[in-house]
Amino acid sequence: MYIGLTHFHSYWAYVAFLLLLVAIINSFIGLSGRREFKPKDRKIAVFGLAAAHVQGLLGLVLYLVAPYIRLLASDPGAVMSNAPTRLLAIEHPLMNIIALILITVGFSRHKKLATSSAKFKSIGIFYLIGVVLILSRIPWANWL
């Protein structure tokens, strides 16, 4: 179950990145072309959001069954003083939760904004900051 979940979380990361990038690029193209924000643009943003949420939920489940969490409770010093375990147990989960909140806020904001350019900007900028934060704390060595 644990190994299967890490594989799913590892492969789904490609889907999430791809759909988030499509949403970011679509937003900046829409913004620079001064296009009207259409239902198609909302759909593209929803796909990125949903893929990111699935990834985050997988990560949360993974965290509950991962061996690091048990080690964190019994010997926090050992986890914190070792960069690779600190990345997996603390930095990656915390940073990604912050990134997912920003991505969700970007989507949420666009619904309340009145102009097309403001909607594109909210999605484009918040999703971009989210992706940069996620990329800053990827356990590259473990990524399949």
Residue-wise DSSP of 76-134: HHHHHTSHHHHIIIIIHHHHHHHHHHHHHHHHHHHHH--SHHHHHHHHHHHHHHHHHHH
How big is the site for ligand HEM, counted in residues (CB under 6 A)? 33
DSSP state of 33: T
Measured CA distances, 111 to 29, 69, 118 (Å): 19, 38, 10
State which of residues 24, 62, 79, 128 lies at the interface with ligand HEM (CB under 6 A).
62
Where does this chain touch ligand HEM (CB under 6 A) — which range of 21-29, 74-82, 116-124, 135-143? 135-143
Question: Per CB under 6 A, does 113 bind ligand HEM?
Answer: no
Question: Per CB under 6 A, does 122 bind ligand HEM?
Answer: no
Interface mask toward ligand HEM for 15-54; x: CB under 6 A: -x-----------------------------x--xx-xxx
